[in-house]
Amino acid sequence: MGVSKNTLYSWVRSNRLGDLDLGMGSQTPKSALTLNEELIQLKKTVKAQNKEINRLQEENEFLEEASAFFAASRRKSAKHSE
């Protein structure tokens, strides 16, 4: 990986002392998910996102149809008023 032994040593030491900020998403052995647990969690997320996408697509189709209906209605009103 191209990381020197000294750098690794100082990272490990800093982590043990609590001085190393591992940032968001870092895991400890106790909090880490197994690959299977992570896969299950990701599948649930994808399923929920697909459900939301489908709902939004249906709403978009409805709004497009409603917009076309009202646009046609306006054109009819404009022709009759002339």
Residue 44 tokens, joined: 């649930």
Token pair 């909090």 is at which residue? 31
Q: How far is Cα 38 from Cα 25, in angstroms, rounded to an integer? A: 13
In this structure, of 2-11, 41-50, 65-74, the range with the lowest mean pLDDT score is 2-11
Contact 33, 41 (CB under 8 A): yes
What is the widest separation between alpha-carbon atoms in the chain? 85
pLDDT at residue 26 in the model:
64
What is the model's pTM? 0.52
Hey, what amino acid is at 52?
E
Where are the chain's structural domains?
34-82
Which pLDDT score, from 0 to 100, does residue 19 have?
A: 76
